[in-house]
Structure 1
């Protein structure tokens, strides 16, 4: 009798394990299918990739553009990506040069200063390249898109200030003199 109960219990557990396995597989396939559909239907992930040195182009701005227009703007940005990569490579090399100068025995302040100057120059070139890329993007924007970019720049810069319109505070009015 107890042998029969054990076999029924084992069969019951196997059935539930099979149901759980099928449900898990179905859920995984659902998530994979949703990810593939999102990528295929909406031109990839929602967060556009912009170089870190494009500080004048908030990502939120690009998410508000429709897919084809976003692709056009990102193409302009991507044209500058190779020079950004080269600039970052040079800057990393300058950082290593500074580390080597700091480790050198005997310590040579002139060598450290030279490494810092090289890093500053390469970083400045990277910032200039970012500014040039921003100019090219802005030149391609329509008037409503420029206003949208302005809105997102203000929003990004006012983060944490809790101002609803994200515009800078007006200058305080001068207090009247009391006689």
Structure 2
């Protein structure tokens, strides 16, 4: 009778391919638009400067003429009116040229997030005007999460077809 021995030793090439497949599936995973939007809204609500400038919420809307566009809603408390007031900013993702962090207009070292268009393509319906920039003010002492929110906004725009490179910090403390 013939000797039918089966080698149970795995082949090195099969091991390499298996490791590559496992690592590549882990590395190519990134958050979807909905997951990114949920995370951003959670962090903006928690770390937005709701005492002074208000907090933001973001949604993706669809228009027959323009396709998907972003709607940022700033909710702030107005003590004179004794109620919340709302400010809206809407734009298609392609108009955003930069999302950057700055301490502009702040007396402390708290970072704020600026969303900028090279042209005045960000619509503000309450004022019936277009602007080139708006600011998301953040709570004091949370600069690390502000950096992460900036990256999340860049990721959301990337998922919507606008790949913006993050601004390089030339001077840091």
Instruction: Give TM-score, length-normalised by structure 1.
Output: 0.26
Larger relative contact order (Cα-Cα within 8 Å, sequence gap ≥ 6): 1
Q: Which is helix-richer, 1 or 2? A: 1
